Chain A
Amino acid sequence: MKILVCISHVPDTTSKINFTESDSKFDTNGVQFVINPNDEFGLTRAMWFKEKQGASVDVVNVGGPETEPTLRKALAIGADAAIRVNAPATDGYAVAKQLAKVVNDGSYDLVIAGRESIDYNGAMVPGMLAGMIGANFIANCIGLEVEGTTITAVREIDGGKETVSSALPLVIGGQKGLVEESDLRIPNMRGIMMARKKPLTVVDAVEAHAGTKAVSFEKPAPKGAVKLVDADNIDELVSLLHNEAKVI
C-alpha cells in the first residue's frame, strides 16, 4: 500500500496572531511553524501501517521553501520521502488541484489528510482532492483499518460516531482518535539524522486557479473586563445570565 500524508505547515497552537501590510498579510515574524496537529495524528497512524503492514509513506506539502523544515520533521518521525509542490497555498481549491497531480503521478492508494488546518480551518482540501481524483472520502475520521483494499473506518458525527466501510483508493480527513495523544512521536536524534538523507523532492506546480482570495484580516474586538460574582451570591449570577446576558 502506498500512503501519502498531506502536511499543512501552520503556526504553533500557542501563537499570537498578527497581521501586517495594512492587515492584508499574516505576520510570520517570531511565529514558530509546526505540522498541523490533525496531520500529526494522521502521520502517526501511517507509521503504524508502515510498521505493521509494510506500507510506504510519503509526505507532501504545497508551499514555498519555508515549509521544508516541517517536511523534514515528518521525515524524522519516520516518513520515507517528502514532496514539496512549489506553489503558494492560495486557497483550498488550488492546493487540492496540486495534490491531485501528486496523487495521480505517484499512484497512491490511501491519502491521509487532516480534518482541517488550524490556520485556515477551511476543512476543504481533503474533500476537494477526493472529488477531483474520484476517490472515496471519509471526513472527521477517528479510526482507520485497512485489509487488502477494504476499509473500515470510524467517523465522528454530531453527537456520536459511526462505523463505515469503504474501499481504496481513499482520502480521509483525520483527527485525534486515529491515534491517541500518547502515541504521537517526538523525533529522536537518529530520526533527525536519517531525515537528512531521505529524499525531499521539489516539484513544479501545475496551472491551478484559486476560487477565493483573502483580501484582509481583522482581529476580534477587544473584550470588556469580566464581571465577577461572589461565590456566596450565585443568585446574582443567575439573574445576570437572565436579565443582562439574556441567555437563560
Chain B
Amino acid sequence: MSILVYTESENGKLKKTALEVVSYAKAVADQMGGSVTAVVINAEEAESLGNYGASKVLLVKDDSLKSFDAKKYAATIAEAAKNEDAKVIIVSSSADSKYLAPLLAVGLEAGYVSNVVAAPSSTSPFTVKHTAFTNKAFSNSEITTDVKLVGLSNNSFGIVEVSGSAIVEDFSPAIPDSGVSVVSVDKATDKVSIADAEVVVSGGRGLKGPENWGMIEELAEVLGAATACSKPVSDLGWRPHSEHVGQTGKPVASNLYIAIGISGAIQHLAGINSSKVKVVINTDPEAPFFKAADYGVVGDAFEVVPKLIEKLKAFKAANA
C-alpha cells in the first residue's frame, strides 16, 4: 500500500515542510506497512526526498501549475492518489495546503483531520491527535473513511533522515480549469514569513507606537526571525494585518517566540501556544504572559531589547 504525500516547493526548491511531511509519512508507512510516494510539482532535486523516506516521487512539470492554484493542485494530487491506490494522503498546514486539502477531501471522499501534531496513536482505527479550540486543547480523532487525509501541523513532527533512495517518475495529470486566477502578488521576498519562521519576534502595544519598531526589526534580523504583532497593534495600523498573530490572526508554531510589550491575553496566547520556547519582555511582572512563558525579563523594552540585540550580535560573532 502506498502513503501519498504532497511536498511543497517554492521557486523550484523543496520547502522545509516537504521534508517534514515525508518524515511523517515514513513513520505512518512503518506503522501500517507500505511505502511512501511523494508528489512534487515543478521542483528540482526531487530525488533528495529519498533521504527522508520516500521511495517514489511523481514529478509534475507543467507550466500551468507555475503559480499555486488550489483546484489544479488538488486535482493533481487526487489523480496521483487514485493511480497509486493510496489510502493515506498527507499534506502540510501551510496556507496553501490548507486551501487545497478540503477540495482534495471531496475529490477522494476522504475524511480529513487538520492540525495533526503526532504520528497516529493507532492505525486501526486510524486515530490522530490534533490541536483544537485554538491550541487550548487537543483532540484525538478517528478517520473513518477508506481513504484518509491528514494535515500535519508545521514544526510538530520534525525532520527525520533515513538512508534510502527514491525513484523519480514523470507524472502528467489532467489539469482542470481553475475559476480563480491570480492578478497580482504582493509578497516581501526578503523577509521570513511567520509560517516558515523558526523564530518569531513579536511586539505589542507596550511599544507605544509604530516609530519604535526599528529595534523589533533589528532583533528579528539578528535572529533570522519573522516579525509579528498583537491584534491591537494591527488594528491601530501600527503594523500590517498580516503580522497579527493569535486566535483571530495567524497561528504561530515556531521554535522560539519572543513577546515584547505584549500582555498575554488569552486570545493572543491561544494562537502562539504551540511555539516550543516562549520569552517575554514586559515591565509588569503581573502580566499574564509570564505564566505562559519559559523565560522572562521584567524590564523596559526600550532598555532590554537594544541590550539583547547587542549581546546576540556578540554571541553570533563568537560562534561564527
Q: Given known contacts A158-B195, A160-B242, A218-B140, is B115 in contact with A13 (CB within 8 Å)?
A: no
What residues of B have a CB within 8 angstroms of the CB of A118 in the complex?
A: 133-134, 247-248
The count of chain A contact residues (Cβ–Cβ below 8 Å) is: 81
Say yes or no: is B103 at the interface (Cβ < 8 Å to chain A): yes
- Whether the Cβ atoms of A158 and B256 lie closer than 8 Å is no
- Whether the Cβ atoms of B144 and A210 lie closer than 8 Å is yes
- Whether the Cβ atoms of B140 and A214 lie closer than 8 Å is yes
- Whether the Cβ atoms of A166 and B235 lie closer than 8 Å is no
Chain B, interface size category, equals 35 or more
Say yes or no: is A248 at the interface (Cβ < 8 Å to chain B): yes
What residues of A have a CB within 8 angstroms of the CB of B196 in the complex?
A: 158-159
**Which residue in A16, A138, A162, A211 is a CB contact (below 8 Å) of B186?**
A162
Say yes or no: is A163 at the interface (Cβ < 8 Å to chain B): yes
What residues of A have a CB within 8 angstroms of the CB of B193 in the complex?
A: 158-160
- Whether the Cβ atoms of B99 and A139 lie closer than 8 Å is yes
What residues of B have a CB within 8 angstroms of the CB of A167 in the complex?
A: 179
Q: Given known contacts A161-B186, A223-B292, is B132 in contact with A120 (CB within 8 Å)?
A: yes
Say yes or no: is A240 at the interface (Cβ < 8 Å to chain B): yes
Instruction: With both chains docked as a complex, state the minimum distance between the C-beta of B296 and any C-beta of chain A, in angstroms.
Output: 5
Instruction: With both chains docked as a complex, state the minimum distance between the C-beta of A239 and any C-beta of chain B, in angstroms.
Output: 8
**Which residue in B103, B198, B235, B277 is a CB contact (below 8 Å) of A130?**
B103
**Which residue in B112, B191, B247, B273 is a CB contact (below 8 Å) of A211?**
B112
Interface string of A160-184 (1 = CB under 8 A from B): 1111111100000001110011100
Instruction: With both chains docked as a complex, state the minimum distance between the C-beta of A197 and any C-beta of chain B, in angstroms.
Output: 32
Say yes or no: is A189 at the interface (Cβ < 8 Å to chain B): no
Of the 9-residue stretches A48-56, A57-65, A70-78, A227-235, which lies at the interface with chain B? A227-235
What residues of B have a CB within 8 angstroms of the CB of A26 in the complex?
A: 133
Say yes or no: is B43 at the interface (Cβ < 8 Å to chain A): no
- Whether the Cβ atoms of B102 and A128 lie closer than 8 Å is yes
- Whether the Cβ atoms of B280 and A119 lie closer than 8 Å is no
Alpha-carbon distance A1/B142, docked complex (angstroms) = 40
Say yes or no: is A216 at the interface (Cβ < 8 Å to chain B): yes
A-B residue pairs in contact (CB < 8 Å), sample of 18: A14-B266, A121-B132, A127-B105, A137-B70, A158-B94, A163-B186, A165-B181, A176-B244, A177-B241, A211-B112, A212-B142, A218-B138, A228-B290, A228-B296, A231-B304, A234-B308, A238-B311, A238-B312
